[in-house]
Amino acid sequence: MRCLQWHFLEEGTFAYIAANVVTVKKNEIIDFVSNVYPDMSKEIIDKVFDYLTIVPLKLKTCDGTIHEILPIWEREKRDNRFDQKPLLSAGQDYIYSPVIIHVLLQSWWNGIPDFYPPYEIGLRNTLEVLEEWKERYEKLMVLDLAEIFRNLGLKRVFPNLKLHRLDKYGNYPDYLGDYDLLVIDDASGVIWNIESKVLKKVGSIFEERMQQKGFFEVHEFDEKFQRRIDYLESNYKDILKSLNIADLQDYAIKSYMVTNKIFTCRVKHIGFPIVSFNEIRKLAEDYYSNSTAKGVPD
C-alpha cells in the first residue's frame, strides 16, 4: 500500500483524472512495486492488488445479503467498500486516490493495536489473536495501575486479589471473583478499590449500543463490581486480617472502574465512577501531592 501513496509515486507512472484521483497502468505499477520489494514475487503483488480492488456489484452486499442502499451503517461485516478496497479496475488501468490509500494504511496500522480492525468478516484467525492479545493487555493494565500507586510511595498494593485463596476455611465467597487492585493506605485511612476493564473502540451508533448492552445488560460487569464493592465495605477489616494487616483502623473506601478509553453508562444508573487510565493516574497523583490530605479525593 505504501507504494501507492503520493510520496512513493514517480513522475510518469500516473496521470491525473481529478483532484487526488489518479490512474496507473496495471503492469507498470506491478513492475514498480516489484522493484521496490525485489523479494516479493509478481504473483503475490498481483494478489495484493486484487485484494485492494473494489467489486462494484458487491457494494451493497453485507454479510452475504444484498441491500437496496449502501449499508454504510455496517463496519464489521462489510469489507467491500471504498475505504478498504480503494482500487477501481478499468481495463488495463487502476483508478484510485492516493489519499485514501494513506487512510487505509492508517486504519490498519492504528486499528490492530486497538483491537479494532477496519472490518471483521473473514478474519477469524486475526480476531482470535486479537482476543488473546486483549486478555493479555487486561492483565498488564492491572499491573500498570498497581505501579501508579507504588510510584507514589504506597507499599500495600495487591493486584489480582482472590479472597477465597486467602482463607483455607472458605470464609470468602467464590462468586465475588477477583479484586483487580486493592491499595491500602494506612496514613490516610484509605482503601482504593480499582476495577480494570479493557474495551474495544466502536465505529457506529449501532456498535456503541451493542457495547453498552453487552457490558451492562448481558455480562453485567457493573453489577459484579458492585457486589465486590458492597462486600468490601462490609467486610474490609476481615480482609485486612487475612492480609496480615494488624492496624484495624476505620478506612474510607473509594471504588473506581478504570477503562482504557472514555466510557460511560447510558442504559442505567450505576453507583461508582468510571474513569480512564489517565484520569485515575491524575486523580491519585493530585491526591498524594498534598501530603496533609486526609480522606478520599472527590
Which CATH code fits 124-288?
3.40.91
Q: Are 156 and 184 in contact (CB under 8 A)?
A: yes
Residue labelled with grid coordinates 475505504: 83
pLDDT in tens, the chain (298 residues): 666 775 566 666 678 888 889 999 999 888 888 888 899 999 999 999 999 999 999 999 999 999 999 998 888 899 999 999 999 999 999 999 988 999 999 999 999 988 899 999 999 999 999 999 999 999 999 999 999 999 999 999 999 998 888 776 657 887 888 999 999 998 999 999 999 999 988 888 888 999 999 999 999 999 999 999 999 999 999 899 888 887 778 999 999 999 999 999 999 999 999 999 999 999 999 999 875 444 444 4
pTM over 0.85: no
How many Cβ atoms sit within 10 Å of the Cβ of residue 298?
7
CA distances from 126 to 114, 183, 249, 297 (A): 13, 37, 51, 42
pLDDT digits (tens, 9 = 90+) for 145-175: 999 999 999 999 999 998 888 776 657 887 8
Which residue intervals of the chain bear CATH 3.40.91? 124-288
Q: For 89, list phi and psi in degrees, rounded to 5.
A: -80, 125
* Dihedral pair phi/psi, residue 158, rounded to 5°: -125, 95
